[in-house]
Amino acid sequence: MDFIAQKIYTKNGFVRENIFPGKKVLHLGCGHHKLSGAIGIDILPLGQVDITHDLDKMPWPLLESSFDVILAHSVVEHLSDIVALFDEIWRLAKPGARVVITVPYFRCIDSFTDITHKHFFTSSSLDYFIKENNSLSNYCYTNKNFKKIGFWHGWPQESDNFFVRSFKGWVSHHPRFFDQYLSLLFPVKILIWELEVGEKSI
């Protein structure tokens, strides 16, 4: 499987070069650190921001079905309506587009340090939007179609340390158990999802 998240979050940190030539990329809440080659949208008119707009005010001033990749790095937790956010992401994404969502883990102290954070996330938090065989998607908060391509507790790169690599592999198969119990002893800082937008009916 070719994971876009692993190309963005490299072993050397956040990627610096344009890794999506020929593709249209949207970076939500880009701030000072916009993904190279992307269109950046943020509430503050910072140096790398292309569009200054409050992401809580939808629709955003962008054309529907126009993006191949959408990155939301450390922004979702600041927004008021998560369901409306996913509806808007779906509106802007092309069918088959990849969406990378990165949020602070609920066990991480940074989740609570920032007083502008409105939401806290576990490994199951986005299951409401993922059309798979899980009980949370049956709540039908939205009729938009997302498929989970990848999910990571922490940085998505494979560790060079055998024990860390083995532990993360185990956690990937038991995410709920980790959230409930082991994360008290081994908290990670972030959660990352890579989603794919499904077909859109005409």
10-residue mean pLDDT series, the chain (202 residues): 95 96 97 96 95 98 98 98 97 97 96 96 95 80 91 94 94 96 96 93 66
CA distance 146 to 115: 30
In one-letter notation, the amino acid at residue 167 is F
CATH, range 4-197: 3.40.50.150
Note the pLDDT of residue 1: 78
Q: Name the DSSP letter for residue 15.
A: -
116: burial class by Cβ within 10 Å (0-12, 13-18, 19+)?
Answer: exposed
- Asked if residue 156 has a cis previous peptide bond (ω within 30° of 0), the answer is no
**In Å, what is the CA distance from 73 to each residue of 70, 83, 199?**
10, 17, 24
CA distance 174 to 195: 20
CA distance 150 to 148: 6
Helix (H/G/I), strand (E/B), else coil: 167: helix
CA distance 31 to 81: 20
Note the pLDDT of residue 161: 94
**Residue 136: both structure tokens together:** 């949370």
Q: What is the pTM of this model?
A: 0.95
Task: Write down the domain spans for the chain.
Answer: 4-197
CA distance 110 to 1: 31
**Helices assigned H by DSSP within the chain:** 4-8, 82-92, 109-113, 162-173, 175-180
140 dihedral zone (left: phi>0; alpha: psi -120 to 50; beta): left
**Residue 189: both structure tokens together:** 């800082």
CA distance 202 to 200: 6
